[in-house]
Each structure stands twice: as C-alpha cells, then as structure tokens.
Amino acid sequence: KYHSLMDERRKGIVRSDEAVATILNRHLLWVRDNRSEATYKKKLRHLRSFGQYIGPKVKVSGLKAYHVERWIGQEYSGRSDTYKHIAISEVVTALNWAEKYQYIESNPIAKMPKPQASVRQFFLPAEKWPDILAAIGDDEFRDYITVMVTTGARAQEMPKIEARHFERDQRRIVFPQIESKGKKRSRVIYLPDEAYSIVGRLVEQHPSGAIFRNTQGEPWSKNAVNQRFKRLKKKLNMPQLCATVMRHSYAHHQLIGGVDSHVVSKLLGHVDGTMLAKRYGHVDQNPEFMLSQANRISGLPLNPTELPRDSAEDVDRRQPA
C-alpha cells in the first residue's frame, strides 16, 4: 500500500477528502493571524472568489488545473495577464501551504501554467525630479514623496511612520516585526541627509500618531495619495507616475550609482535579491551603464592585440604529419 501511495504521488494523484473551500478558509485564517493586514486583504479577494466559484463539494483529490483556468476565464475576463498571474499564484500558494502543514498529501495544481506577469519598467529620470517638485504646491506632499524617493520606502509604509519608529542617533526608521510587512522580521528604513532632515522636523511637530500629514493636518490615506499622483501625472504628462515608481526609481538609481545589488535589496527590505532582479533594477534600459559594467572585468586581455600569439614553430609542431 505504501508503494502504491508513493507511486500515485509521483504521478500527481492526490488522495484527500478535504474540500478545496475548507483548505482556502484554513489558509486565510492562518494568514490573518500571522501576516500583515494588507497581505490578508489581497489574498482574501482572490481566494474568496475562487472558493465561491469552486463551491463546497469539490475535494482536493478532484481539483484540476482546468478548474482554475475556467475560474480565471469567467471571473477575470478583461483583466491583465499580471493580475491573472497573481490570482492563480494565490490559489497555488494556499495549497502549497496546506501541503506544508500536512492538511493534504500534495498540491495537485502546483505546476499549472500561469500567464506571464509583466514587469513595470518605468522609473523616474533624475532630470525630471525638479519638475515634479515644482508641480507640487504644498510642503506636506513634497516632503512625503521626497522621503519616498530618497529611501525606497514602500507606499504602504509611509503613512504608518510615527515618532516612536524614529531612531535619531542611528538615522533610521524601524518597524518592529509585528508591524512590518509579512510580520517575519523588523523593517529598517535608512535615512539619507534630506530624508533625515524632513523626518526629524516632522517628529518634532507630531510626537504621537502619523508624522506625515496633509494640509488639513490629517494623516495621509491611500486614496488621498493616489489622487495626488493622479493629478501630478496629468499635469506633467507622465501617465505611468505613481507611488510605486518612487520606490522603483530609488532601486534603479542606486544600482546605476554602483551600489551592490545585495545592499540595495537590504535597503528595500527584501530577504534576498530575487525581487530586485525581477522588478526593480531596470539597469538593462541604460546601455551606457551596461557597457561600463562589462568593461569592469579585470585580469583578462580585452584588446585582441594584447592576446598572446603562437610562434611559427608552435604552429608547425601542431600540424599533422
């Protein structure tokens, strides 16, 4: 029986009486208790949709890739490939979690194909930064995006910064593990001179609560920030401009400036360099930079005239008799 079960597992045959909807609910409860609220809400949107589509009767043993494919075709018609990719990934991740915690024997859709997610390649050229600052009519929002673009802080981190997170001597913002994205480790945002000056001033003004506030003295909401960027991109004719572009631009210019990619990943709050390589670098859009990096190879003769040449005697010795 053991060998029979292992053979079935190798062939992708899953023996589980658990309903798919039950697994999705268990995963959501775990995420709610162990991950950030933003992560929970993102997963809830997609997993609730798939759970309602699949219904309460379909077992994990009967789940097929075509169930997910049909769900995407019905519920996400007209959505971008990136959005579909994310939705499918959430379902696959939930079942991977269930396998890891042994609620199911294996994930039957672990290797199902997904639409290719597009990568946001737009970043803010350095020469455009003065235009953006000039287009902002108030100091409050100017401070907000200046700190974003000079620190690489996430859009969802900015409204949460309070005086208690500010370590003046260390020149940094520290979110404890319980308040950080994913709740796995503390998040550190290092403050270069301009950002340090802004944060230090705002901490003095707002010793409690959010330090970044709008012209009415209220903490910035996600919708308010989006509306400001919406007006900015229309005014500047930059349709791709948004809060996330500030973070992408930070990563791009750090890499172009010669900062090691591992260090840039840590500054962005990533565990490793995978996300940076996939979504944030954009260095391939700068051919001059790529060429300069190619020419940094040392210890190799780059000029063909410098290559050692065989003598005529060496060539004659290699000729067949």
Cα separation, 256 vs 276, in Å, equals 13
**The pTM of the whole model exceeds 0.75:** no
Give residue 252's pLDDT. Answer: 84
pLDDT at 286: 59
Residue 95 near residue 109, CB atoms below 8 Å: yes
Q: Is the pLDDT reported for residue 306 higher than 90?
A: no
- Identify any residues that bridge with 187 across adjacent strands, giving them in sequence order: 175
Q: Is 136 helix (H, G, I), strand (E, B) or coil?
A: coil
Residue 62 has pLDDT above 80, yes or no: yes
pLDDT in tens, 198-219: 999 999 999 999 999 999 999 9
What pLDDT digit, counting tens, does each position of 134-183 carry? Answer: 999 999 999 999 999 999 999 999 999 999 999 999 999 999 987 877 66
pLDDT: which is higher, 283 or 75: 75
What three-state secondary structure class fits 309? Answer: coil
pLDDT for 256 equals: 81
Phi and psi based region of residue 118 (left: phi greater than 0; alpha: psi -120 to 50; beta: remaining): beta
Distance (Å, whole) CA 312 – CA 139? 75
| Long-range Cβ contact pairs of 218-224 (< 8 A, separation 24 or more) | 219/159, 220/144, 220/158, 220/159, 221/159, 222/155, 222/156, 222/159
Longest dimension (CA), the chain: 93
pLDDT at residue 282 above 70?
A: no
